[in-house]
C-alpha cells in the first residue's frame, strides 16, 4: 500500500510539473497549448537517445533534453501561437497547437519507434530499492524545485516581473514599452526547458514513449484546473491529488478506471469551486 502511495505521488508530481509549464505559457499569452505534454515527451525521448544511442553521460542527456524542450517551446510560439494571436482573439490556437502536437508525435513515432523504451539509470542504484528508488523521488524533488524556482524568478528578476505584468494586462505592458512578443517567446522557451527537464527526470517512471504527450497534456490540464490556473502551489497539489487518486483506483479497481477518476475529480472541483482549489476569482469590470 505504501508503494502505491509513493508511485501515485511521483506520477502526480509529473502532472504537477506539466501544470507548471501550462502556467508559464499562460502567463504571457493566455493560451493553454495542446503541445504542453509533448514537450515532456520530447525531453524523455531525446534524453534516452543521447544516453542510449549516442552513449553520452547523463548530464549531456539532461542538457540535450532541456535544449530540445526549449527549442520546441519556441517553435510552438512561432508556428502555432504568434500568427494566430496576431490575427484573431478567438481560440483558434487550440487547433494550431493540436496540429503541431500531432505532427510532432507522429514524427517521433516514425523516428524513435512506437514501443516504450526503458530509460537509463541516472544514479547507480539497485533495481530492488523499492520506495527509495530514484524513479519515484526524482520527479517529486524536481517538481518542488521547479515551483520554488518559478516563484523566485517572478519575485526577484526583472523578466519575471515582466511576465507578471503581461499576465495582469498585456495591453498596458505594451503601452509602457514592453516588447510583448519577445517576452511571450521567452516564456515559451522557459516553459519548454522546464517541460524537457520534467520529462527527463520522470523518464525512468514513464519510459521514453512517443505517445506519452497526449496523456501528459490531458492530466496536466486536469491538475491545473483542480489546483487553480496561475497558482504554482495549486499545480502541485492538483497533480498530487490526481496521481494519488489514479494510483489507488488502479490498485483497487484496475487501470481501466483511471481516466474516469481523473475526469470525475475535475468535474467535482469545477462544480464546487470553478476557479480551482488555489485559484482566485476574476472580477470582470462592467
pLDDT digits (tens, 9 = 90+) for 62-75: 999 999 999 999 99
Whole-number Å distance between alpha carbons of 79 and 169: 24
117, β-bridge pairs: 208
The pLDDT, as a whole number, for residue 97 is: 94
Domain hosting 84: range is 2-272
Burial label, 81 (beta-carbon count in 10 A; 0-12, 13-18, 19+)? buried
The pLDDT, as a whole number, for residue 286 is: 39
Residue 105 lies in a domain: yes
The pLDDT, as a whole number, for residue 65 is: 97
Rg of the chain over Cα atoms, rounded to whole angstroms, equals: 18
The pLDDT, as a whole number, for residue 282 is: 56
Whole-number Å distance between alpha carbons of 22 and 36: 7
* Number of structural domains in the chain: 1
* Percent helix / strand / coil, the chain, rounded to 5: 75, 0, 20
Rounded to an integer, what is the distance from CA 207 to the centroid of its chain? 16
Residue 286 lies in a domain: no
Residue 53 lies in a domain: yes
Residue 284 lies in a domain: no
The pLDDT, as a whole number, for residue 283 is: 45
Q: Which residues of the chain have pLDDT under 70?
A: 88-90, 280-286
The pLDDT, as a whole number, for residue 54 is: 96
Residue 280 lies in a domain: no
The pLDDT, as a whole number, for residue 266 is: 84
Residue 51 DSSP one-character state: I
Residue 278 lies in a domain: no
**Domain with 125 in it: what CATH number?**
1.10.3470
Residue 153 lies in a domain: yes
Spatial neighbors of 51 by CB under 8 A, at least 6 apart, are: 57, 58, 60, 61, 120
Residue 130 lies in a domain: yes
Amino acid at each position: 500500500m505504501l508503494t502505491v502511495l509513493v508511485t501515485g505521488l511521483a506520477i502526480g508530481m509529473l502532472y504537477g510539473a506539466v501544470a507548471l509549464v501550462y502556467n508559464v505559457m499562460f502567463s504571457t499569452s493566455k493560451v493553454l497549448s495542446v503541445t504542453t505534454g509533448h514537450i515532456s515527451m520530447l525531453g524523455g525521448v531525446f534524453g534516452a537517445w543521447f544516453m542510449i544511442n549516442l552513449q553520452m553521460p547523463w548530464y549531456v542527456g539532461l542538457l540535450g533534453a532541456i535544449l530540445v524542450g526549449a527549442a520546441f517551446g519556441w517553435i510552438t510560439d512561432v508556428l502555432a501561437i504568434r500568427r494566430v494571436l496576431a490575427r484573431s482573439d478567438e481560440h483558434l490556437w487550440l487547433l494550431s497547437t493540436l496540429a503541431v502536437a500531432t505532427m510532432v508525435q507522429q514524427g517521433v513515432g516514425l523516428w524513435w519507434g512506437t514501443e516504450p523504451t526503458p530509460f537509463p539509470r541516472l544514479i547507480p542504484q539497485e533495481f530492488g530499492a523499492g520506495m527509495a528508488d530514484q524513479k519515484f523521488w526524482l520527479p517529486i524533488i524536481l517538481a518542488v524545485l521547479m515551483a520554488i524556482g518559478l516563484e523566485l524568478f517572478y519575485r526577484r528578476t526583472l523578466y519575471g516581473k515582466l511576465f507578471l505584468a503581461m499576465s495582469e494586462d498585456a495591453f498596458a505592458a505594451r503601452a509602457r514599452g514592453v516588447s510583448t512578443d519577445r517576452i511571450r517567446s521567452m516564456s515559451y522557451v522557459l516553459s519548454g526547458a522546464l517541460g524537457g527537464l520534467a520529462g527527463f527526470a520522470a523518464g525512468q517512471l514513464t519510459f521514453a514513449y512517443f505517445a506519452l504527450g497526449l496523456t501528459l497534456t490531458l492530466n496536466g490540464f486536469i491538475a491545473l484546473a483542480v489546483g487553480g490556473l496561475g497558482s504554482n502551489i495549486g499545480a502541485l497539489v492538483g497533480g498530487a491529488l490526481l496521481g494519488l487518486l489514479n494510483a489507488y483506483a488502479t490498485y483497487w479497481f484496475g487501470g481501466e478506471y483511471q481516466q474516469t477518476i481523473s475526469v470525475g475529480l475535475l468535474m467535482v472541483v469545477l462544480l464546487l469551486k470553478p476557479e480551482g482549489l488555489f485559484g482566485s476569482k476574476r472580477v470582470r469590470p462592467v
